[in-house]
Structure 1
């Protein structure tokens, strides 16, 4: 398996977000918003002497095996790395800041902050064809074999945990957990969507050759050429189309503004691009 240092770094970043949100915001308020972290919070509320990080680590092994068999070794390897990173980070935070207490009496604000942080981290991890382990592996399997989005798959996988939280931690905490699961699934989908958003750009210009060279040589992208006829002057025109990320689009727009301020440009948002030069088809 080829090791991608960028992927490892981003998985660590995502793991840090999940660990931070869980330990400092969700766990002190006993909000079991799904996942093995939710199960660990429930068990820890009954047996406080058992560290949450240790509980999370102990529950991952079976689900790891399932993930490797069903989804593949690359997913399994990344997920093992991510999950143990989260568990280790939670354990480390527990050593550095033991017996952490809620920051305030406002559980709702802490729930929203915790879920925002965790959802951001989980979105980063899912976007790299990995997961944070636990029930997220089940969500990834649901997503692979159905048309259900990752966020909604996470929601389905975590419902049982929130029901358990309601029975064990009380209706009040259980309702917060249900809200947390719904927020989490929405945030994950939004993060994945934003990380995979591109601009489809169509350009008509009298300086088409220079624009094509700029796209290929400076932006390291390709382009597709179409030929069209204008209705007003009945003249033949070359239409250059390309797909760029947001930063590349801004560079191209600024270049065309200087080169040909009379160029005609249309821009469409693209939520996902699969294939060579973009996201690998999996």
Structure 2
């Protein structure tokens, strides 16, 4: 836990805070007013709130997370990390402030609009939280317990728990709201995966150019990156050639492409999208 806490940078703090704010906003103004219990602790809290109207959903989420973390410490041990603890309890705090300062209201009477927009906003927020190494806790903990003691895969465990909450929503709020909640559960998982891929997308380049020395110098000095020089053989020219292999962010790729276009318009560039890059200069492989 100490190592994870040390890596909790200011950028992590800001991005996770924005992420949990979006999750809170999607819950407070789209899902909660329309009784869309789309899985997770938040979905369970919405169901409980229907029986305990006087208790805010944010407070219910806080209590449920406290219970789940206590159970997890007993059954799984510690090691959640500062980011997950902050995201879990920070979400409850932001929801509580929203309820206090800007009481939730129904922004649209259309249940589909509320389900779709709410899921989209929550999905963006959750993707940001996950992308910066945190989690909002909740049903993730139950999934890990099922995995350890019943040997059920984490993904299947999480889906199982969320579907049980969704089915409970059907019994509590009726078939329409319940089915929308089940649909949101399915869409949300896919949306989060796609958004995380988008956040982490880099460009993988293979470059053949007679100006390779200048290009290498630009990559190292201007982009502060490195590249690998591969030896090749030109099938058409029957000559030995050097192939530059480099992975860059979207912004650096655009800069390099413009530079190559300027110094060698006849260069050959192959570009692929890479959804995860681990190692020096990118995401720490230890995380």
**TM-score, scaled relative to structure 2:** 0.89
**Unmatched segments (≥5 aa) in structure 1:** none
Task: From 107, 130, 133, give the equivalent of 1:103.
Answer: 107
Structure 2 Cα separation of the partners of residues 88 and 177 of structure 1: 24
The 5-angstrom pairing of residues 33-182 of structure 1 reads 33-65=38-70, 66=72, 73=79, 75-98=80-103, 100-138=104-142, 154-182=158-186
Q: CA contact under 8 A between 1:138 and 1:157: conserved in structure 2?
A: yes
- Structure-2 residue corresponding to 1:269: 273
Preserved contact between residue 75 and residue 145 of structure 2 (Cα < 8 Å): no
Does residue 22 (structure 1) correspond to residue 27 (structure 2)? The answer is: yes
How far off its partner does 1:154 sit? 4.8
CA contact (8 A) 1:200 1:267 kept: yes
Q: Match for residue 191 of structure 2?
A: 187
Describe the superposition over 1:142-176 as per-residue Cα deviations: whole angstroms up to 9, x where unpaired: 99999877xx7753441111011111221121101
Tell me which residue corresponds to 1:197.
201
Q: 1:29 to 1:178 in 2, by over 3 A?
A: same
Which runs of 5 or more structure 2 residues have no equivalent in the other structure? none
TM-aligned CA deviation for residue 280 of structure 1:
2.3
* Residue 224 (1) aligns with residue 233 (2): no
Match of 1:247 in 2: 251
Query: What is the root-mean-square deviation of aligned Cα atoms in Å?
Result: 2.5
Quote the Cα distance in structure 1 between the aligned partners of 2:242 and 2:152.
41
**For residues 103-122 of structure 1, what are the alpha-carbon distances to aligned partners after superposition, in whole Å with 9 as ceiling and x for unaligned?**
22210111100000001000
Task: Give the conservation status (yes or no) of the 8 Å contact 1:67–1:137.
Answer: no
Contact 1:53 1:88 in 2 (8 A): yes
- Report the Cα offset of residue 184 of structure 1: 0.7
The 1-side partners of 2:208 and 2:144 are apart by 42
Aligned residues of 1:67 and 1:141 also touching (Cα < 8 A)? no
Tell me by how many angstroms 1:76 deviates: 2.8
Per the alignment, residue 10 of structure 2 pairs with 5
Equivalent in 210, 213, 225 of residue 209 of structure 1: 213
What is the CA deviation profile of residues 129-152 of structure 1, one whole-angstrom value per residue up to 9, with x for unaligned ones? 211221144568899999877xx7
Partner SS for 2:136:
coil
Partner of 2:36: 31
2:244 matched to 1:236? Answer: no
Sort the Cα spacing of 1:214 and 1:228 in 2 relative to 1 into closer, same or farther, 3 A: same
For 2:48 and 2:233, locate their aligned partners in 1 and report how far apart those are by CA, in whole Å.
69
